[in-house]
Structure 1
Amino acid sequence: MFASVGDSQISETEFNNAFYRHMRSKYYHGKPPEDQVNQVRQQVAESIITRSLLVEESRRQGLKCDEQAVQATIEQYDKRYASSEQWQQNRESLLGKLKERLCEDDLIRQIETNVRKVSQPTQKELTEYYETNLDKFTEPARQRVSVILLQVAPSAPKTVWEAAMAEAKSIKAEIEQDGDYSEIASLRSADKSAANGGDMGYLHKGMLSPAAENVVNALPLNQISDPVRLLRGIAIFRVDERLPARVRPYSEVSSRVKDLWERDESENNWTSFKDQLWATTSIKIYDPSVSLKEKN
């Protein structure tokens, strides 16, 4: 036996099957790195024990498996594997365990739906949530950036890159001698923003490559950068405007505040419910490589 959970038992075979299913779904070669094996075993153990707790609790509450839904799922299996000789040969022997698991899945779905239900929040709760989570309603600092890009293939020879850099320096000199940046961008830039005179719009941190972002962040407003080599070619940047981070007022985000409050409350309900089951149920694990989750 792998573990006892209340009145239920989890066999070594059940645990091993869950462990190998997890490895096949998560790891490309079906096996975690050697130093992570015990951590994965712990994760799978907690998952399978939690599943057992939920199934046991759903039955204690008198929930009933939706037999029609289970049968409909089995019919989907029959259609999906209609041409599978292995499925046809083993269908009857697999059916019992499959029905049992599908019923358990349905019971867990029902109990999760019930637990996750939240009541309508009061205005006070929503206001407090907004004020406590202002970071969720803050627009990041943004910069309106323009670019002239002379495209060069990454694999192009050194001479091509040098020619592009020389051309970019010539373009910069032209702009500094009263050349029109937007007009030159429209005619000579390979970036899609050329259609807008090089205007890339408002960008926030992470929207440019690190090399481009470093150049843009250091630029004074309305000045053009020295040509910089990027993966796609040689670029000349200009920053047209900078906007600081802005906390959006409650009136603008009230619907999102309610959505996020309900999401978080639902998640808190579900997590607390599972923690309570762990705390109030007798659980014993007989595998020395797995430790019992601490009770809250």
Structure 2
Amino acid sequence: MKQYGKVAVVMGGTSSEREVSLMSGAGVLSALKSRGVDAHAFDPKDQPLSALKDEGFDRVFLILHGPGGEDGTIQGALDMLGMPYTGCGVMASALGMDKLRTKLIWRALGLPIPAFELLDEHSDFAAIEQQLGLPLFVKPATEGSSVGVTKVKAAGELKAAFEEARKYDRLVLAEAFVGGGEYTAPVLGDAVSGYTVLPMIKIEPATEFYDYQAKYFRDDTVYHCPCGLAPAQEAEIAELVKQAFWAIGGKSWGRVDFLMDEVGNPYLLEVNTAPGMTSHSLFPMGAKAVGMSYEDVVLKILDTTL
């Protein structure tokens, strides 16, 4: 374990996803210590990033979620410090955090995405309800963990959903409902060495949709891994996932979420460049399906900093 040196597990931060980050970070820290890595918790809410150098850290396992930790901000600061870190770099992190720009890139490359509209206070909400159909989803463009997301089920509700999402971001999206199931695909690697897509997971929440509580706290969300897709179809979607991750400049590790329609067509939903690593999280679930323990996958991710 000496090859890693002193490792900072950077967790917590100041975003709306602080609680989840602390849970993820606690799991990562415990896993690294159990394997003999000289790992320590580091919360940028309490210490300046310059302390990483002052305290002699050699590399960072970056497990911050949300704005400030997953959007390229801290990645740029770590680049300036010359500190190796897990996960995507500045550009991919910034793009991955911005659902609008991610969708624009995917659409430009001809990759399948659900129909969407950008909302503002001047939008014709009734016309957009008609255009996208009901139900539909409204979400802030640069939040994660389903923060600020509303499922609009009845005509006339879109404006209120927009106002709720606007509390979290000035950019708000309305997105068409795709009803054949929600899936996620964990990814390891980079464009040079190649991407590995781990077994995909089908998500069946007991709630109206896969919201914050369903993701992190409820025990009635059902996860299927294997996901139930035919092997040939899963292999085909894996290639789509690789294209989606490559398109934003993804590297190290990440997770690409996608939807299926009722006739089996996939639609890319979003990319997560710092996936959760809690007891309910999906990345370690996909790794477990190929015989990798939680500790194994944490070390595999840390290896990308070498």
TM-score greater than 0.5 by the shorter chain: no
Larger radius of gyration: 1
Q: Does 1 or 2 have the higher relative contact order (CA < 8 Å, sep 6+)?
A: 1
TM-score normalised by length of structure 2 = 0.21
Which structure's residues are more often strand, by fraction? 2
Which structure's residues are more often helix, by fraction? 1
